[in-house]
Structure 1
Amino acid sequence: MRYIIIGAGAIGGTVGGRLAESGHDVVLVARGAHYEAVRESGLRVRTPEGALTHRLPVVRTPAELGELRPDDVLFLAVKTQDCEAAIDAWSGRPVAGGGTAGELLAVVCAQNGVESERIALRRFRRVYGMCVWLPATHVEPGSVSAAGAPYTGILHLGRYPKGTDDTARRISADLEKSRLLSPVVVDVMRWKYGKLLANLANSIEAVTGVLSGNESMALYRRARAEGEAVLAAAGIEAVSEQEQKETRGDRVRFEPFDGSERGGGSSWQSLSRGTGTIEADYLNGEIALLGRLYGVPTPVNDALQGVANAFARERRDAGSMPVTELLGLVAQAEEAEEAALGFS
């Protein structure tokens, strides 16, 4: 199997590097300064064991790669807001021997949130969901860092919307040879909804900094409580915090390279790189969407979604808003929600 890593950032770059390290055929897809750096100097992957530079094929577009192979696996690691464009670009590409990628190839959706699989299923017949637990960072072109040990991450994998098959088991086996645990599960979206609830903290972290104080943690708990209420109303099951903790155990510990504290997650990294976009619409915004569909108020998540989007749009510095200011904006959203309910 050849792995085409679409979005060779923190997650894609780490997975691609680990697969290459264990002898698998890997092609990276990147853009901008990251593409240029990888093309010129290779992809540098830092882990607790040290740093390796992988000289791998790298392209910007499907056309640069040419005809796809029947054994290709498309590993989709772009942010959810970029997923539709990626699916559009790759689904119609010809595969050697006849047919298109959308008709024949497996696509693995390795994003936060729960929307990418739905987007992919409109164009691909073989869609796999992946719940990613992998502490990784990409803020410098040509370089990614992954501080998990003794395993780099845990990647639950399954068919979408449910089930397993031989392809999932083959992908899992390749990942597990590459210091990445990859349990094959029949209910992968249950795991992704559990991760979604955890990711409701991403916007708080992105705009105020790494969660450490009582105020920011309490705000996350309020956002999560809204999320749990919404999923209950929608009849959607998610793995619990306890089940997630038991699954990870001590198999993915954070081991920094230089004794530093853990950096920010994916949303914080988007702001740090000044990309102009952020995944809040598919995290806090997913809770807001379900809340409106099922009649559950979600003012905390509404406020977090709005603030995170404003930070990305205005290219404001990650972590630059005091927690007290964010709490004030959330309080305003809650007051507006109460007023609206009272009016109705």
Structure 2
Amino acid sequence: MDKRYVVVGAGAVGGTVGARLHRAGHRVVLVARGEHGAALRERGLTVHGPAGADTARIPVAAGPHEVDLREDDVLLLAVKTQDTAAALADWAERPVGPDGGRAGSRLPLVCLQNGVENERLALRHFRRVYGAMVVLPAAFLTPGEVRIWCGPRTGALVLGRYPDGADDTLREIAADLTGADFRAEVVEDVLRWKYGKLVNNLANAVDALCGQRPGAESGELAVRARSEAVAVLERSAIAWAAPAELAELRRGVVDELPSGAGAGHGSTWQSLKRGGGSAEVDYLNGEIVLLGRGCGVPTPVNELFQELVNRWARERREPGSLAPAELAELVGRAAAEQPAAAG
């Protein structure tokens, strides 16, 4: 049976995945509210890429109350992690099909999100939860538009059942994504890949605070945040995909070709640029802080990054407005004040 993909959160990742599935001939519904939802209804979704712009007229819903769910639907969750709990509560209780069974009991849900918390939250509401480690350099800054800057494929995804394993439903979804211009790999240890991406995403905070400035200082700050994460994961006996594995997944498939507004910037920088008042840093750097506190490994760099990004978001400060030298000074001060690791 031909699936219909309901994309909850049609931003950079959700919008791009939905548009590519639609272009490949699949039934798709994009879920978006506010100015973005209005623009999608009026003008369609425009995906700007290295090969030019492509506009698609895809059905749009403002929320679950506007979607009549069917037995062949797949929910693709692509909201930011701070919005996950509300989205799950909205969608899990929606009736499916003529007998009105719950979506949480009937439908598969795929988390196309950063971090490692979304799937855990989802499993409280949905019986079948799938995780995805997504490599898709893209930006969402303008209502009705997303921009990607990679090639020759649109992106790469590693998918698995949560907390582990794989099944035929997932293999069918992966086949659809492969046919929609993605590299889609099915694995039985998706959390290992997601932890690897989490370590990589810790640098998003430096980008959000300092922007893409020349010099080695910003890179050194990112290395310090990642070094803390490695120490935490090792102490916690958590496996993660090594940088070489992530690089091999991308090589010749998702090569970055930066161009246009927001190009090269991470999702945290984009959240600050949109000025929505929140960012997902609590589930990126904050995840390492949480694990570190649980296992007795100090994480002063990630704790500082979490605090600063949250402040920038609340106060709607311009991303990239902090000088790397100033951030380095704050990092040094925070590291000096942090107590030593527990024995």
Deviation of residue 173 (structure 1)? 0.5
| Deviation per residue, 1:239-291 (Å, 9 max, x gap) | 10111112211211122456x89431100000010010001100000000000
Q: How far does residue 32 in structure 1 lie from its aligned partner after superposition? A: 1.2
2:86 alignment partner in structure 1: 85
- CA distance in 2 between counterparts of 1:146 and 1:332 reads 38
2:19 maps to 17
- Within 5 Å, give how 1:163-182 maps onto structure 2: 163-182=165-184
Other-structure match for 1:41: 43
AA aligned opposite 1:320: S
| Contact 2:74/2:109, CA 8 A, preserved across alignment | yes
Which residue is 1:146 aligned to?
A: 148
- How far apart, CA to CA, are the structure 2 residues paired with 1:29 and 1:12? 9
Q: Is the 8 A contact 2:12 2:140 kept in 1?
A: yes
Residues 317 and 143 of structure 1: CA distance in aligned 2, closer, same or farther (over 3 Å): same
When the two structures are superposed, what TM-score results if normalisation uses the length of structure 1?
0.96
CA contact (8 A) 2:286 2:303 kept: yes
Look up the SS of the partner of 1:275 in the other structure.
coil
Question: Structure 1 residue 335: deviation in Å?
Answer: 2.0
Q: CA deviation at 1:115?
A: 0.2
Corresponding residue to 2:132 among 130, 133, 154: 130
Residues 134-283 of structure 1 mapped to structure 2, 5 A cutoff: 134-210=136-212, 212-257=214-259, 262-283=263-284
Q: Matched residue of 2:185: which SS?
A: coil
Please tell me whether the aligned partners of residues 206 and 222 of structure 2 are also in contact (alpha carbons under 8 angstroms): yes
C-alpha distance in structure 1 between counterparts of 2:290 and 2:92, whole Å: 27
Letter in 1 for 2:117: E
2:322 pairs with 1:285: no
Separation in 1, partners of 2:213, 2:308: 16
Residue ranges of structure 1 left out of the alignment (5+ in a row): none
Structure 1: how far apart are the matches of 2:124 and 2:130? 13
**Distance apart, 1:232 and its partner CA:** 0.6
CA shift for structure 1 position 97: 3.5
Work out the CA distance in 2 between the residues paired with 1:96 and 1:187: 32
Q: Measure, in 2, the Cα distance between the counterparts of 1:86 and 1:129.
A: 16
Give the Å deviation of 1:224.
Answer: 0.4
Number of residue pairs the alignment of both structures matches: 339
| Contact in 2 for aligned 1:91/1:123 (Cα 8 Å) | yes
- 1:108: which partner in 2? 110
Shift of 1:167: 0.7
| Paired position in structure 2 for 1:302 | 303
Name the aligned partner's letter for residue 251 of structure 2: G
Cα deviation code 1:274-333 (max 9, x no counterpart): 010001100000000000000000001000000000000100001111111111221221
How far did residue 334 of structure 1 move?
A: 1.2
Distance across 1 between alignment mates of 2:212 and 2:89: 35
Work out whether residues 211 and 217 of structure 1, in 8 Å CA contact, stay in contact via their aligned partners in 2: no
Aligned mates of 1:154, 1:330 — CA distance in 2: 33
The residue type paired with residue 106 of structure 2 is L
CA RMSD of the aligned region, Å? 1.5
Unaligned runs of 5+ in 2: none
Structure 1 segments of 4+ aligned residues over 4 angstroms from their partners: none
TM-score, normalised to structure 2's length?
0.96
3-state SS of the aligned residue for 1:108? Answer: strand
Secondary structure of 1:292's counterpart equals helix
Question: What's the CA shift string for 1:6-51, capped at 9, x where partnerless?
Answer: 0000000000010011111000001111011111111111122221
Overall identity of the aligned pairs, in %? 53
- Aligned counterparts, 1:50-89, within 5 A: 50-65=52-67, 67-89=68-90
Query: Does the Cα contact within 8 Å between 1:20 and 1:26 map onto a contact in 2?
Result: yes
Query: SS in structure 2 opposite 1:70?
Result: coil
Distance 2:52 2:84 in 1: 32
